[in-house]
Amino acid sequence: MSLIEEINKRRTFAIISHPDAGKTTLTEKLLLYGGAIHLAGSVKARKTTKHAVSDWMEIEKQRGISVTSSVLQFDYEGHHINILDTPGHQDFSEDTYRTLMAADSAVMLIDVAKGVEAQTKKLFRVCKERGIPIFTFVNKIDHFGRNPFDLMDEIENLLGIHAYPMNWPIGLNGSYQGIYDRETATIELFEKDTSHGQHKLASTKGSADDPVFRELLEEDVHQSLIDDISLLDEAGDTFDFEKVKNGQLTPMFFGSAMTNFGVKPFLEKFLKMAPQPQPRKTLETIIDPASEEFTSFVFKIQANMNPQHHDRIVFMRICSGKFEKGMTVNHRQSGKTIRLMQPQQFLATERTIIDDAYPGDIIGVFDNGTMGVGDTLYTGKKKVTFADFPVFPPELFARIRAKDTMKRKQFLKGMTQLAQEGAVQIFENLGSMESYIVGAVGELQFEVLEYRLKHEYGVDLEMNRLPFSIARWIQDNGHDYKEMKNIDSAMIVKDNKQRLVLLISNEWQTNWIIERNPGFTFCTTPDNLKREAEE
């Protein structure tokens, strides 16, 4: 098969959702279709519900693929599918955001009863900024749910994207009986069952005009469907594939992952519309996936997966060219050449060593500490640099220091390495050489930091949470930051590139400080700072 054919058959996407919307269940059903697993429940079995600090590594072990592999891969009807894993809320961290950088499209999973929830909103924002196509699957329609028009409004109002329903739930007052497919004008009704997803729901399918459905559905349900559909056709958005590709319109599907209703039609339509690996921007040029030269970027590092061996696996997304086992590549950041040994891919339940891989694929390779998150690897003479990963504004902060001051060296080493992995964001505490300020987007990042410094570097941490929830990068516009007014309740720190950052408790205080310091500019991320301010 040619490189272009390999690229065309690949679909690499992430499922974004709030915990409990049914991501594990949907993933499992997709894997079942691909034949990658044979038994419903095998993905779920690895899910743990409680995350105690002390058993973090145990969690890693038990969950196997769901935490450490980052990607699940299977084939379905000529497509090669890579599902990127974005862990649920207990695990919520910058890792989750960064994984989205490796996706070509996203599936936004929403619980029909709950609508758009907090976590979905956060993850959605990252996808929207990247301009990747977003597909919506409204799950659990076998259960009581909200009005579909309300959900469309909510998506538009909260997320700023229009939704185009590909199908429509049939029923009244939130009690649904099936779906209507708008493209084929067919109805599929499911039979209620009580097996809690043990069985695929039996269903009746046919043309919407078929009088059978008038009988099967009660008169008012049938009429309401007809009314809804004509309202959608007349007043709803038209289907514009260009808008879907640019992430301005989201095709919306209704279904039920648990009872496997509407999952297969979703998968098939999704595969038709979702993009194959696309050209990617670098600082130098735009890289076509079909280019002969291999390029990839690191989006995740998992160190000490096996604590006995201190191994470190670097996950990279291939952007162009063909990858071959043992190939030598240039590492842009260090200028070294590196041989990519023991490349691994991850089937549903096991890791395998692979011989080759193509754009869109994710591979994991062992690394001795050279590579960092966001780094570029490439072959050929021309330098390639994928742009820096965006910095995600941290919302949680803590001051940390080594309990034992004699362990300062190990503490520094540990912090440097964990910062390189992107485990937390580290800030310099202007008043002290002994302590650092760390920032995170999720609670688990702190737990992991504490656990890993102790177990991998032998350092016990003293950690004090700080009452801040907002970080603003400061552009001084030629003023001395010491002249800033009304910042007694805030704290000034420096990020790893020596840029000044103000930590603040709440929105109200932020506005207060901004008003009183008109000479300074306050940016939500360092990417927004003017270049000269960075240098």
CB of 150 to ligand G4P, least distance (A): 19
Q: In the bound complex, what is the minimum distance in angstroms from residue 79's beta carbon to ligand G4P?
A: 23
> Measuring CA to CA, which residue among 23, 26, 27 is closest to residue 346?
27
DSSP state of 393: P
- State how far the Cα of 261 lies from the Cα of 195, in Å rounded to an integer: 14
- Number of helices (H), then strands (E), belonging to the chain: the values are 14, 31
Q: Which is nearer to ligand G4P, 140 or 472 (CB)?
A: 140
Least Å from the CB of residue 44 to ligand G4P: 6
Min. distance of Cβ 20 from ligand G4P in angstroms? 4
Nearest to residue 251, comparing CAs of 229, 274, 233, 228?
Answer: 274
Tell me which DSSP letter residue 68 carries.
Answer: I
**Interatomic CA distance for residues 175 and 509, integer angstroms:** 46
Nearer to ligand G4P, 109 or 423 (CB): 109
Residue numbering of the annotated binding site for GTP: 17-24, 85-89
Q: Name which of 140 and 182 has its Cβ closer to ligand G4P.
A: 140
44 or 336: CB nearest ligand G4P: 44
- Strand 105-111 versus strand 79-84 pairing type: unpaired
Which residues are annotated binding-site positions?
A: 17-24, 85-89
Q: What single letter denotes the amino acid at residue 38?
A: H
CB of 41 or CB of 131, closer to ligand G4P: 41
Structure tokens at 522: 């306050």
User: CA-CA distances (angstroms) from residue 289 to 4, 263, 278, 292, 468?
Assistant: 8, 30, 7, 8, 43
Residue 133 or 262 with smaller CB distance to ligand G4P: 262
Residues that bind ligand G4P (CB under 6 A): 17, 19-25, 44, 88, 139-140, 142-143, 197, 256-259
Least distance CB 263 / ligand G4P (angstroms): 9
Which two three-digit tokens encode residue 477? 């516009």
Spell out the alpha helix ranges (H) of 106-218.
118-130, 148-154, 211-216
CB closer to ligand G4P, 29 vs 280: 29
CB 141 → ligand G4P: shortest distance, Å?
7
Cβ of residue 49: shortest distance to ligand G4P, in angstroms? 9
**Tokens 């709030």 label which residue?**
18
> Which strand ranges, in their side-by-side order, compose the sheet holding 344-346?
337-339, 328-331, 376-378, 295-303, 312-320, 362-366, 344-346, 351-353
CB of 420 to ligand G4P, least distance (A): 30
Q: Is residue 391 a contact partner of residue 526, using CB atoms and an 8 Å limit? A: yes
Rounded CA-CA distance 289/268 in Å is: 24
Q: How far apart are CA 17 and CA 27, in angstroms?
A: 12
Please identify, using beta-carbon distances, which residue of 19 and 307 lies nearer to ligand G4P: 19
Task: Give, in order, the Cα–Cα distances in Å from 392 to each of 1, 302, 396, 441, 524.
Answer: 39, 19, 12, 8, 9
- For the record, the structure tokens of 302 come out as 């998992």
CB of 202 to ligand G4P, least distance (A): 16
Nearer to ligand G4P, 259 or 425 (CB): 259
